[in-house]
């Protein structure tokens, strides 16, 4: 029973890290193959752990952002969060579709946490999207994984690096775009002064 608990806890830990940590699904496939676990249980526990990890990330990344972000940038992100929260159907569809892609959801939840988007607007579609995505990945991983250690040997590929860069660009776009100008005045503007500076 401890191996199922380890699947859940590993997903929570990995997906609560505010950097580009390895995705949880290869770890879940390792547990599945190495300990001969039930795939359906691993998928469900893994997605539940991933969702809890992302929720934890949104809680503390907001507090961390409050300490390091410039007040104007905080206001900008709060405005964006208000727009996303005001259109729950659009937010649901966006997060669901985004969760199906190979892009890192660390960027999505870091941005959502800093923008103070309500967790109820993003966690249910994230859970559903990952349930489908992880289901495909874990079943496929079980099928091809004749050597569990080999799962991690090819993780640093050009596709993986490109995916990480796309996720980083998404995060930077959310941070540096002046959302008030874009959404109110339809004017695209970048603001690179987002961090708090010491004042004499």
What pLDDT, in 10s, does the model give residues 78-121? Answer: 676 666 676 778 778 878 888 887 667 876 787 778 777 888 88
- How much is the mean pLDDT over the chain? 77
Give residue 127's pLDDT: 96
- The pLDDT of 25-33, averaged and rounded, is 88
pLDDT at 199: 47
Q: Specify the pTM.
A: 0.71
Q: What is the pLDDT of residue 148?
A: 46
**What does the domain layout of the chain look like in residue ranges?**
2-148+155-185
pLDDT of residue 186: 76
Determine the pLDDT at residue 151. 47
Least confident of 6-20, 120-134, 152-166, 179-193: 152-166
pLDDT tens digits, one per residue of 139-181: 877 766 655 455 455 555 666 566 656 666 665 666 677 766 7
pLDDT at position 46: 95
What does the chain look like in DSSP terms, one character per residue? -HHHHHHHHHHHHHTT-SS-PPPHHHHHHHHHHHTT--HHHHHHHHHHHHHHHHHHHHHHHHHHHHHHB-HHHHHHHHHHHHHHHT-HHHHHHHHHHHHHSSS-HHHHHHHHHHTT--HHHHHHHHHHHHHHHHHHHHHHHHHH-SSGGGGGTT-SSHHHHHHHHHHHHHHHHHHHB-HHHHHHH----B----B-----
> What is the structure's pLDDT at 11?
95
| Highest mean pLDDT (candidates 10-24, 40-54, 83-97, 135-149) | 40-54
């Amino acid at each position: 029973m401890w191996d199922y608990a380890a699947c859940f806890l590993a997903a929570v830990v990995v997906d609560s890290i505010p950097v580009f940590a390895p995705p949880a699904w290869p770890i879940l496939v390792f547990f599945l193959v190495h300990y001969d676990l039930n795939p359906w249980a691993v998928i469900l526990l893994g997605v539940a752990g991933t969702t809890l990890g992302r929720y934890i990330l949104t809680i503390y990344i907001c507090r961390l952002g409050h300490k390091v972000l410039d007040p104007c940038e905080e206001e900008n992100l709060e405005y964006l969060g208000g727009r996303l929260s005001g259109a729950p159907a659009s937010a649901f569809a966006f997060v669901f579709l985004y969760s199906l892609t190979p892009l890192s959801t660390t960027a999505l939840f870091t941005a959502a946490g800093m923008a103070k988007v309500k967790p109820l607007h993003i966690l249910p579609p994230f859970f559903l999207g990952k349930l489908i995505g992880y289901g495909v990945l874990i079943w496929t991983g079980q099928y091809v994984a004749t050597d569990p250690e080999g799962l991690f040997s090819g993780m640093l590929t050009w596709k993986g690096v490109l995916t990480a860069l796309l996720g980083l660009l998404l995060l930077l776009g959310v941070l540096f775009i002046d959302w008030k100008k874009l959404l109110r005045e339809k004017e695209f503007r970048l603001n690179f002064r987002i961090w708090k500076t010491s004042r004499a």
